[in-house]
Structure 1
Amino acid sequence: MKPWIAVLLAACIPFAVQANEGGESKEGPPKVVYYSLSPPLVGNYAMDGGPRLHVYKADIALKVTGDEAVAAVKHHEPLIRNLLVQLFNQQSQDAMSSGEAKEALRQEALKQTQQVINAEEGKPVVEDLLFNNLIVQ
């Protein structure tokens, strides 16, 4: 081996080690993920005994941060879906008709989702719940 190549390689090795170490330590903060519950929730609500059937379709996303939180939400998705279906089925026609009422429903859905996931995981996971689309008839 030529002596100048050995010198050049010896000079580059410390920079290669620093670059590798720097890449591992500069991972950055965890990314925010909006996990969509798929397929959308579809069901009946306000069964008041009348002839008219009331139907909803809710496309819901959960805001979580980090891969661990995404994995927890995926794992508990059946529990979350069941909770939300029960909540929607209990709503009245008035609770699904106005923008303010839908926002109150969103807040209640968030609160209940956070409570059930916190009970299962022992720590906060879901930061927010969003209605990407909420259709009621």
Structure 2
Amino acid sequence: MKAWIMMLLALSLPLAASAEESKENDATKVSYVTLSPAFVGNYALDGGPKLHVYKADIALRVTGAESEKAVKRNEPLIRNQLVALFSQQTADTMNNVDAKEKLRQEALKQTQQVMSDEEGKPIVEDLLFNNLIIQ
């Protein structure tokens, strides 16, 4: 009987270690949360005859399953902030490569601010434009 119990314990230890390792991997696993649907809207509303339109596919880089859940929980607020940011842009800030990078950085900053306000920490590590179409 003792040998049987010892054998069960010996077999269960690797399983317990594997489960613990899995939890650690989940906490350090980098993932990308795609904000969908894509952002589509107007910008540079200066009253002129030309309509300016953008389409942006955005992904947020986070680490850990809990961070991913927090971003998804706050996605409506993040989307609202980003739509407001995009609508404030001018033709110059949307057509210049350097300006697009500044826009990406500002979008990241505002996303991190939303997460700090709602969750107590910035959580989002980076913001990526998977696709940015300007017309």
Name the TM-score, length of structure 2 as normaliser.
0.90
Larger % of strand: which?
2
- C-alpha displacement of 1:23: 1.7
Q: TM-score, normalised by structure 1?
A: 0.89
Q: Which runs of 5+ in 1 are unaligned?
A: 1-5
Amino acid at match of 1:26: E
Shift of 1:11: 5.5
Structure of larger gyration radius: 1
Aligned residue for 2:21?
26
Q: 2:7 aligns with which of 12, 16, 21?
A: 12
Q: Classify the secondary structure of the residue corresponding to 1:52.
A: coil
Per the alignment, residue 70 of structure 2 pairs with 72
Tell me which amino acid in the other structure corresponds to 1:107: Q
Stretches (4+) displaced over 6 A: none
Q: Secondary structure at the match of 2:37?
A: coil
Aligned to 2:37: 39
Give the 3 Å change call, closer, same or farther, for CA 26–86 of structure 1 in structure 2.
same
Number of residue pairs the alignment of both structures matches: 132
Query: For 2:18, what is the secondary structure of its paired residue?
Result: helix
Q: CA deviation at 1:88?
A: 0.3
SS of 1:124's partner is coil
The share of aligned pairs that are identical, in percent, is 58
Report which stretch shifted further, 34-43 or 122-131. 122-131
* Local SS of the residue matching 1:126: coil
Offset, 1:14: 3.3
Secondary structure at 1:63 match in 2:
strand
1:1-137 to 2 correspondences below 5 Å? 9=4, 12-27=7-22, 28-29=24-25, 30=27, 31-137=29-135
Unaligned runs of 5+ in 2: none
